[in-house]
Amino acid sequence: MSTSNIGGSSRAESESRVDLGPSRSLALCLPLSFSTLSLCRSICVRPPEERRRGMSEEAVVQIAPSSETADTAPTVALGPDGSQDGVPATGGSSPKPDDADDAASANDLMGINPMDQISRKIVVRGVRKFIKPKNVDKMVSSWISGHEATIKVVKSKKPPKDNWIKLTLADESMVDKLIDLINKGGENGNPMKNDKGQPLFAKRADEMLRNDRAGGDDGDRKRKSNGDGGDTAKRSRHNPPPVRILSKDEVRDKITPLWRLSYKDQLDKKAREMVNKSAMKIVKEIKGKFRTIEKEARRDPNRSKIEVYDWVKAKRPVEMDAPTPSPRQFEYRNKCEFTCGFSLSRKNGSGVEKDDGKVAATGIEAKGELEDENANEEFVKTPACGFLAQGWSGGVYMPHILPNIPDWACGLSDILNDFLKSSPIPPYDSKVHRGLWRVFTLRCSIRTKEALVIVLHAPAKGGAGARDGGLDDYTGTFESEKKRLVEMLTKEAIPVPTRDLPESHVSEPRARDGTDIRVTSIFFQEFDGLSHPPVDHPVQHVVGKKTLDERLGKCTFQISPGAFFQTNTEGAEILYNIVVDRVREVTDNPKETMLVDVCCGTGTIGLTLLKEGVVGKLVGVDIAAPAIEDAKVNAAKNGFADESVTKFVASPAENVMPAILHEIPRSSPVVAVVDPAREGLHGIVIKTLRANERIERLVYVSCNPTGSLVKDASMLCGPPTKKYPGRPFRITRSQPVDMFPLTSHCEMIMTFDRMPMDEYLKYHERSP
């Protein structure tokens, strides 16, 4: 058995050190020397959470100075619409990561988890919307009055126009105490109220994050409008709705909210959203930058106003192509994460619905009725893994009913559920942090017929919540259970699952990928923390191959357990082909052209471009060391091992981009492709790309076109400033690609071309 890291950055740490080590020296042996880079043996990384904090518009009020005040914990992600357990947000913004729309599903998409240390945070709803910052401090102090010895709030965040506040406590042990105090009134039993007498409601931030993850989709899903929220929307947001078993359709509404629409309607909806929430927002942001300069010019006679660029003033400054459809509309996911918990069934043995006698939530075999009385009922709980469609307490729902999940994943979940049901060790209960089995991550290549499983578990001595009493120590049984699980997963072919899919889906030709796929790699990953392991948390290789092989276009790739890979394989081919076209359009001399592949992951985009002959040289950079190791192997696998052709650098792009660009020989034309994680590009990366005018074309692949792309595009295209100097880019093409049918996510390939100098000089007196 060996131990290795799985992908990515240690975003949870306030000051992580990336040791590039001698073997990973950044010195490139390209025609470029990259000598400056080779000096960077050890680089201090400022985690994105810290950077983002500076950008937040929310008031940040320090309550009690403490060593924890320099809190490194990222802020909270909630339901996409800010709702929690069916309680919708009412106006204003919702608690969420400081600048990410939806970090939860982002994680899934990116293979990155920016929400590592939220276990000390709570969100309190029901507070007055408009409170002066100094009174926020007083209000929070009043809540903990008399309990200062045991509860210490180190930070609070109260957005000016919202009715919630986010609190960070000095220690995790204080979280439940404060929640109890607010919701139940502690010893005096009087739940707390705001100064208008309306009740407050507190909840753990990490629980909200899990709800959001369970939701699986972000979009701008409004519960009122998607059919599931009529009654929940009316319910007081201060009383969490009672747990009840959701119907199949309700689960689908939460996880695949577009499932009721025809594929054409899904694409139309995404097309509208890309225009309204991406293109129009970008233009608005860019115009805002001109307005700011104008305001400054009014105040400062040394500064002059800049005329808004003609292309920005045009009727349609950002033309949006129709979304390119996904080759597969159903069962397209090559990666699934199933949370361990309990499935709920009614005490009388019945399950969920009576319409067709099949049960969504609690097992395929049960029958029953969905009635309102099932609210508050005591349920029978069976250990299971699947989706949390309404938070931990709401139970685990089987993937068999979800049209985006393929057969192989459901078949594997059947094996895993059999295992959990028969295991003497219980699933991990994230409310009390007891138990052991936490999350099963499944990845698969339907082309190479390989599947990789990662078993996330608490230490054998049990979850952190059990240790004080010396309870729940599983060291006696863990090793044998581990062995049994490995045997169950590898012994036989993946069983054909009994699916329970919507009619619209069954009527389509089914993919039925499953029976010929084998589990070829198993990893275990021990994690003692309360929320989710950081992406570079070590994994233990237990059985089989250490990587998964995948084929895309003309290339083959190996993927380590934690390295990012697009979750829709056929969709990724389409995506990369469009990038190929966009780069081909500007490479007159492909052999000499250098591609800078920012956030390159396992090298998929760059190597595809090399294979297609549209560029001749490639330098890729990614923060995840395992992904970069994969990229180097992948370069060799695809015939580009020569260091004068490919170079991959394991580092945060912001630390090395200036040096990488500086070292590219003047004779090489340069094209850049960026494909960042959901939070978008670091300011330094944007500044470097913008200031380096050798880059005439930049192809931006974004999985967050309504969020981070808006911010990044406006910084690339706005008038030059001290912070973002250089001739601006302008947007010349926008191509949405539907990588996630049935959900409201959409990928975007936006093409940025440098504004010609003569045009630039029309607006600016001198060249930048």
- Residue 704 beta carbon to ligand SAM: minimum distance, rounded to whole angstroms: 10
Question: Strand runs (DSSP E) across 175-329, as ranges?
Answer: 201-204
Backbone angles phi, psi at 355, to 5 degrees: -60, -45
Q: Does 686 engage in binding with ligand SAM (CB under 6 A)?
A: no
Residue from the set 571, 676, 705, 707 that interacts with ligand SAM by CB under 6 A: 676
The C-alpha atoms of residue 183 and residue 587 are separated, in whole angstroms, by 62
* 426, two tokens: 């219980």
What does R_g of the chain's alpha carbons equal in angstroms? 26
* Binding piece for ligand SAM, criterion CB under 6 A, among 76-84, 329-337, 347-355, 618-626: 618-626
Least gap, CB of 8 to ligand SAM (angstroms): 5
Q: Is 564 in the site for ligand SAM (CB under 6 A)?
A: yes
**Interacting span for ligand SAM (CB under 6 A) from 524-532, 641-649, 672-680, 730-738:** 672-680
Identify whether 703 is a catalytic site residue: yes
Supply the minimum distance, in Å, between the C-beta of residue 624 and ligand SAM. Answer: 4
The span from the CA of 411 to the CA of 432, in Å, is 30
Question: Of 429 and 654, which has the nearer Cβ to ligand SAM?
Answer: 654
Q: Residues with Cβ < 8 Å from 96, sequence gap 6 or more? A: 75, 76, 77, 78, 82, 102, 103
The reply to whether 394 sits near ligand SAM by the rule CB under 6 A is no
Residue number, 112 or 746, with CB nearest to ligand SAM:
112
Q: Are strands 379-388 and 335-346 parallel, antiparallel or unpaired?
A: antiparallel
Backbone angles phi, psi at 102, to 5 degrees: -155, 90
Q: Minimum distance from CB of 602 to ligand SAM (Å)?
A: 6
User: Quick check: 624 binds ligand SAM (CB under 6 A)?
Assistant: yes
CA distance 112 to 447: 25
Beta-sheet pairing, 538-544 with 2-5: antiparallel
Residue 579 interacting with ligand SAM (CB under 6 A): no
* Residue 748 interacting with ligand SAM (CB under 6 A): no
Measured from the CB atom, the residue of 621 and 742 that comes closer to ligand SAM is 621
Per the structure block, which two tokens stand in for 423?
């295991």
Does 677 engage in binding with ligand SAM (CB under 6 A)?
yes
Q: Which of 120, 152, 537, 682 binds ligand SAM (CB under 6 A)?
A: 682
62 annotated binding-site participant:
no
One of 605, 610, 635, 710 touching ligand SAM (CB under 6 A): 605
CB of 674 to ligand SAM, least distance (A): 9
Asked if 623 is part of the footprint of ligand SAM (rule: CB under 6 A), the reply reads yes
Residue 564 and residue 603 in contact, taking contact as beta carbons nearer than 8 Å: no
For residue 166, with 0-12 CB atoms within 10 Å meaning exposed, 13-18 middle and 19 or more buried, which class applies? buried
CB 156 within 8 A of CB 167: yes
Please report which residue ranges of 378-453 form alpha helices under DSSP H.
Answer: 407-422
Q: Which two tokens stand for residue 262?
A: 């025809």
SS3 category, 543: strand
CB of 55 to ligand SAM, least distance (A): 15
Given a contact cutoff of 8 angstroms between Cβ atoms, the answer to whether 620 and 648 are in contact is yes
Of residues 412 and 746, the one with the C-beta less far from ligand SAM: 746
Q: State in angstroms the smallest separation of the CB of 375 from ligand SAM.
A: 40
For the CB of residue 622, give the shortest distance to ligand SAM in the complex, in Å: 4
Residue 680 in the binding site for ligand SAM (CB under 6 A): no
Q: Which of 601, 719, 736, 741 binds ligand SAM (CB under 6 A)?
A: 601
Residue 689 touching ligand SAM (CB under 6 A): no
Least separation, in Å, of the C-beta of 130 and ligand SAM? 37
Q: Which is nearer to ligand SAM, 52 or 237 (CB)?
A: 52
Query: Between 110 and 501, whose beta carbon lies closer to ligand SAM?
Result: 110
CA–CA separation, 415 vs 316, rounded Å? Answer: 53
Q: Which residue is nearest to ligand SAM (CB)?
A: 601
Phi and psi angles of residue 666, each rounded to the nearest 5 degrees, phi first: -60, -25
CA distance 472 to 643: 53
Separation CA 116–CA 391 (nearest Å):
18
Tell whether residue 198 is among the known ligand binding residues: no
Q: Which stretch binds ligand SAM (CB under 6 A): 192-200, 223-231, 543-551, 676-684?
A: 676-684
> What is each CA distance from 677 to 413, 586, 598, in whole angstroms?
28, 26, 11
**Does 429 sit near ligand SAM (CB under 6 A)?**
no
Q: Measured from the CB atom, is 123 or 598 closer to ligand SAM?
A: 598
Tokens 């339907």 locate to 446
E strand or H helix at 734, and its extent?
A: strand 729-737
Smallest separation (angstroms) from ligand SAM to the CB of 685: 8
- The neighbour count for residue 25, using CB atoms within 10 Å, is 15
Q: Among the candidate windows 16-24, 202-210, 353-361, 602-610, which touches ligand SAM by CB under 6 A?
A: 602-610
Task: Tell me how far apart the alpha carbons of residues 13 and 525 are, in angstroms, rounded to a whole number.
Answer: 19
Number of residues that bind ligand SAM (CB under 6 A): 25
The catalytic position among 336, 555, 703, 717 is: 703
C-alpha to C-alpha distance for 571 and 303, rounded to whole angstroms: 48
x/- map, 96-115, ligand SAM, by CB under 6 A: --------------x-x---
In the structure encoding, which two tokens stand for residue 199, read together? 């009740």
Binding mask 633-662 for ligand SAM (x = CB under 6 A): -------------------xxx--------
**Considering the rule CB under 6 A, would residue 439 count as an interface residue with ligand SAM?**
no
Residue 566 contacts ligand SAM per CB under 6 A: yes
Our finding on whether 547 is near ligand SAM (CB under 6 A) is: no
Cα gap 85→281, rounded to integer Å: 30
Q: Are 370 and 606 in contact (CB under 8 A)?
A: no
- List, in sequence order, every residue forming a beta bridge with 382; answer none if it has no partner: 343
- The residue among 76 and 109 lying less far from ligand SAM, judged by its C-beta, is 109
Dihedral of alpha carbons 72, 73, 77, 82, sign: negative
**Contacts for 301 with CB less than 8 Å, ≥ 6 apart:** none
* CB nearer to ligand SAM: pick between 219 and 680: 680
Using CB under 6 A, pick the residue from 206, 207, 622, 630 that binds ligand SAM: 622
Contact residues toward ligand SAM (CB under 6 A) are 8, 110, 112, 564-566, 599-602, 604-605, 621-624, 627, 652-654, 675-677, 682, 703
- What are the binding residues? 566, 622, 675
For the annotated catalytic residues, the residue numbers are 703
Query: Known binding site for S-adenosyl-L-methionine: residues?
Result: 566, 622, 675
